[in-house]
A and B are shown apart, each in its own frame.
Chain A
Amino acid sequence: MKMQSFFLACAACFGLSITSAHAQLRVEITGAGANRLPIAVADFAGDRTITQGLTSVIRTDLDGSGMFRLIDGAGTLSDNTNPPFADLKQRGADVVAGGTTMASSNGRFETRVRLSDVIKQNTLDMQAYVHTGAQLRATAHRIADAIYEKLTGEPGVFSTRIAYVVKSTGRFELQIADADGANAQPALASREPIISPAWSPDGSKLAYVSFEAKKPIIYIHDLATAKRHVAANFKGSNSAPAWAPDGKRLAVVLTKEGGSQLFLVNADGSGVKRLASSSGIDTEPRFSPDGQFIYFTSDRGGSPQIYRIATTGGTVERITFDGSYNVTARPSPDGKSLAYIARNNGRFQLALMDLATKQTQILTDSSKDESPSFAPNGRMILYATEIGGRGVLAAVSSDGRVKQKLSVQAADVREPAWGPLVK
Chain B
Amino acid sequence: MRHSLFAIVSACALLSACSTAPKEVAASATEPIAATSKYAKSSVMVETDIQRQDRMIKSLSDKSIFFDFDNYSIKTQYESVIKKDYEFLKSAPKVAVALQGNADERGSTEYNLALGQKRAEVVKHELKLLGVPEDKLEAVSYGEEKPRATCHEEKCWSENRRVDLVFLRQP
Closest to B135 in A: A235
Interchain CB contact (< 8 A) of B110 among A259, A272, A280, A283: A283
- The B-contacting residues of A in range 43-89, CB under 8 angstroms, are none
Interchain CB contact (< 8 A) of A283 among B8, B20, B21, B113: B113
Interface contact A258-B121, CB-CB below 8 Å: yes
- A288 CB-CB contact with B under 8 Å: no
Chain A residues with Cβ under 8 A from B25's Cβ?
A: 233, 235
Question: Residues 65-104 of chain B: 1 if any A CB is under 8 Å from the residue's CB, otherwise 0?
Answer: 0000010000000000000000000000000001000000
Chain B residues with Cβ under 8 A from A234's Cβ?
A: 22, 24
Q: Say how far B67's CB is from chain A's closest CB, in angstroms.
A: 14
A10-B12 in contact given A230-B21, A269-B22 (Cβ < 8 Å): yes
Interface contact A236-B140, CB-CB below 8 Å: yes
A14-B113 in contact given A7-B18, A233-B23 (Cβ < 8 Å): no
Interface contact A239-B110, CB-CB below 8 Å: yes
Interface contact B12-A233, CB-CB below 8 Å: no
Q: Bin the interface of chain A by size.
A: 35 or more
- B48 CB-CB contact with A under 8 Å: no
Interface contact A237-B117, CB-CB below 8 Å: yes
**Distance in angstroms between the alpha carbons of A245 and B121 in the assembled complex:** 33
Chain A residues with Cβ under 8 A from B115's Cβ?
A: 281
Closest to B108 in A: A327
A328-B20 in contact given A213-B28, A216-B141 (Cβ < 8 Å): no
Residue in B11, B19, B108 with the greatest tally of chain A CB atoms within 10 Å:
B108
Interchain CB contact (< 8 A) of B107 among A10, A13, A231, A343: A343
Q: Report how many residues on chain B are interfacial, defined by Cβ distance under 8 Å.
A: 44
- B152 CB-CB contact with A under 8 Å: yes
Closest to B151 in A: A389
Q: Say how far B113's CB is from chain A's closest CB, in angstroms.
A: 5
A327-B24 in contact given A214-B9, A237-B140 (Cβ < 8 Å): no
Interface SS majority for chain B: mixed
Chain B residues with Cβ under 8 A from A368's Cβ?
A: 106
Chain B residues with Cβ under 8 A from A272's Cβ?
A: 22
Closest to A368 in B: B106
Interface contact B138-A235, CB-CB below 8 Å: yes
**Distance in angstroms between the alpha carbons of A7 and B5 in the assembled complex:** 17
Q: Say how far A350's CB is from chain B's closest CB, in angstroms.
A: 12
Question: Residues 273-292 of chain A: 1 if any B CB is under 8 Å from the residue's CB, otherwise 0?
Answer: 00000001111100000000
- The A-contacting residues of B in range 30-60, CB under 8 angstroms, are none
- B27 CB-CB contact with A under 8 Å: yes
**Distance in angstroms between the alpha carbons of A14 and B111 in the assembled complex:** 26
Interface contact B117-A196, CB-CB below 8 Å: no
**Distance in angstroms between the alpha carbons of A229 and B12 in the assembled complex:** 13
Chain A residues with Cβ under 8 A from B121's Cβ?
A: 255, 258-259
Closest to B113 in A: A239
Closest to A280 in B: B118
Interface contact B142-A7, CB-CB below 8 Å: no
A281-B24 in contact given A213-B13, A255-B117, A260-B117 (Cβ < 8 Å): no
Interchain CB contact (< 8 A) of A328 among B5, B12, B108: B108
Interface contact A211-B107, CB-CB below 8 Å: no
Interface contact A236-B138, CB-CB below 8 Å: yes
- A371 CB-CB contact with B under 8 Å: yes
**Distance in angstroms between the alpha carbons of A258 and B22 in the assembled complex:** 18
Interface contact A255-B111, CB-CB below 8 Å: no
Chain A residues with Cβ under 8 A from B17's Cβ?
A: 3, 6-7, 9-10
- A325 CB-CB contact with B under 8 Å: yes
Chain A residues with Cβ under 8 A from B113's Cβ?
A: 195, 216, 237, 239-240, 260, 283
Residues of A within 8 A of B (CB): 3, 6-7, 9-10, 13-15, 191, 193, 195-196, 211-216, 229-237, 239-240, 253, 255-256, 258-260, 268-270, 272, 280-284, 297, 303-304, 325, 327-328, 341, 343, 348, 368, 370-371, 389, 414-415
Residues of B within 8 A of A (CB): 5-6, 8-13, 15, 17-28, 70, 98, 106-111, 113-115, 117-118, 121, 138-143, 145-146, 152
25 CB-based A-B contacts, threshold 8 Å: A10-B12, A10-B15, A213-B13, A214-B9, A215-B27, A216-B140, A216-B142, A216-B143, A229-B20, A233-B23, A234-B24, A235-B25, A239-B113, A240-B110, A253-B114, A255-B141, A256-B24, A259-B118, A281-B115, A283-B110, A304-B111, A327-B108, A328-B111, A370-B109, A371-B108
Other 17 A-B pairs with CB < 8 A, given A235-B138, A269-B20: A195-B109, A195-B113, A195-B145, A214-B9, A214-B27, A215-B140, A216-B142, A233-B23, A235-B25, A237-B113, A237-B139, A237-B141, A268-B20, A283-B111, A327-B108, A341-B107, A414-B109
